[in-house]
Amino acid sequence: MARKKYIEELDNHDRWLVSYADFMTLLFAFFVVMYAISSLNEGKYRVLSNALNGAFGTTTNPQGVIPDLKNQQSSIIEGLPKIKPNHQEPLRKEREKMTVVARDILTVLEPLVREGKVKVTQTSRGVSIEINASLLFGQGEAKLHVDSIQALNAIASVLKIDHHDIQIEGFTDNLPIKNSTFPSNWELSATRASTVARLFMENGVDENRITAVGQGPKNPVGSNDNVEGRARNRRVTITILAVLPETPVDIPVKVD
């Protein structure tokens, strides 16, 4: 009787192994499910599915059909607290700042915008002010018209209280120019951009924020085959550059 009681006591002590094994199985299944819903990669899912089927003794899906994990993932995510990525807030604030700058520019240039002589646009790069060169300069010249100075002064009044970098680009049509002052359209466009930059600096815009670039006949916005198109291509573009946080992107290595 004593020996029988001793054997029963040993059996009772070993019962915890069953519960422990069940717990480990459930824990393993939990992490498997979390891994599965974190990626919808078809190849990974099939490898995972085959491994699980082999481990638990079930039949592998011969068609390789993937369950609707996307819907399952969405339903799970909907039940979690909404967490906004940290980089979204700076992006939103910067876009709002650029929108304010664009509206201020539109306000001071509204008459010229209505006449089609100035165009203001906002993109991820920043706020761009496109000014028809005929408003600023004479044919083949880089000296500002007297009546254009007031418009540029108005732009400078907005820019000098801002902090963004400014890129000023001069553009021409494709008709060649060659004289003692400008050997080509490149020199003409660069001098026009520099002239606008100089006026901004004289009106209080920090010169360290300004870059002046001559683009010559590059990047036409109209056809150079007609008078109207060439007139559009002769322009000065002022871009207030947005400061947006960069998102690193890994460049994948091609595997043969």
Do 119 and 113 meet the contact criterion of CB atoms below 8 Å apart? yes
Which CATH fold topology does 88-241 show? 60s Ribosomal Protein L30; Chain: A; (3.30.1330)
Q: Give, to the nearest 10 degrees, the angle between helix 69-78 and helix 16-37.
A: 100
Query: CA nearest 101: which of 164, 170, 168?
Result: 164
The whole-angstrom separation of Cα 171 and Cα 185 is: 8
pLDDT band, residue 24 (cuts 50/70/90): confident
By CB atoms closer than 10 A (0-12, 13-18, 19+), residue 125 is: middle
Q: What are the tens digits of pLDDT across the range 106-156?
A: 999 999 999 989 999 998 889 999 999 999 998 889 999 998 999 999 999
For residue 57, give both structure tokens.
């003794």
Read off the pTM: 0.63
Segments of the chain assigned E as strands: 118-123, 126-132, 166-171, 210-216, 235-241
For residue 82, give both structure tokens.
């909404």
Please state the domain extents for the chain.
Answer: 2-78, 88-241
Q: Is the pLDDT of residue 165 over 80?
A: yes
Residue of higher predicted confidence among 17 and 206: 206
